[in-house]
Amino acid sequence: MGLRRIWMLLAFIGLLASGLVPACSGGREPAGESASTPKTTTQSIGPVDALPPRTQRAFEATTAFSPLPKPGPGDWLDVNDEELQTAADYLASEPNLPVAPRNVLYVLPVGPLPAELGPTIDELTSYAHAFFGLEVRVLPTLDPEALDVTRRVHHGGGQLNATDILDRMEPQLPDDAYCMIAVTWSDLYPDDTYNFVFGLARLTARVGVFSFARLHPDFYGAYPGDDAEVRELVTRRALAVMSHEIGHMFGIQHCVSFACNMNGSNSLDESDRQPMHLCPVCLRKLHLALGFDPEQRYEALEEQYRRAGLEQEQAWVQRQRAYIAEAAAASR
């Protein structure tokens, strides 16, 4: 166990002993039930009293964070059992931490990424840097036809086995890599029991992959709006899926506390209903791993949303930045 992880655990355990958060931090909730009551949210986030006032406000469960909606038929929590992962649970899992020299986030293109159809590799890397604060580097593009992975034709379309892709990626992790995310326009599936998967990542192996294929309306034979509107839609979806899969590589499990970027998704419609931001519980987990300034992180994300034309997300971040800034005014 590294010194940074030991320090994190000792600091958290010390606050547990102080009575600021229950020593029994499991707080498990059954699938389909929101964990976002005031009491369980406070317990899930854990102690933040030692943080600066402006930082504390970033983890407050205000009305800016929507409650987890009741799952409809076929939604992720309707068909999957998920457990609540608190901040204490997260630390106890001994997640991978980006500690130098192993602190670079690598992006691996698998096949071309047509700029007219979705985000460019530069847009992906810029967003990943803003979201996670790590240095991001791009690896040479791989030819999907040259990949030694299982393939199948499913409902008339070709697919690559995402599990096989991750198996091939693990031994190829650069020495300075914190994690590596592959991106492709090829459709993916994890095993024969699934029709498809938007993306797949491993909590401890630091590899993941996601596909643009089902994010574009053309996949479904529908092309609503003009080219710019469609590209904006695909960009939003791609950035959300990418950050979700990288979040898993930080050891963050699916969220059952709020509507959150880390919610599980069983369909494109369900994914579109989920926000691009992290809820207070998942934001705290990422903060424990990275130690960022939430206000600076939101500032970087606001610029990304402005560039991408994602006005709703940009407005949400602006409101959060204003709310955090109120702490400084109140303390004068």
Tokens of 248: 């898993």
| Catalytic-labelled residue, pool 82, 245, 270, 313 | 245
Please give the single-letter amino acid code of residue 274.
Q
Whose structure tokens read 């299982």? 150
DSSP 8-class letter at 68:
P
3-state helix, strand, coil in the chain (%, to 5): 45, 15, 45
Is 245 labeled as catalytic in the residue annotation?
yes
Q: How far is the C-alpha of 108 from the C-alpha of 160, rounded, in Å? A: 15
Q: How far is the C-alpha of 261 from the C-alpha of 246, rounded, in Å? A: 11
Whose structure tokens read 């240095």? 135
Q: Which residues are known catalytic residues? A: 245
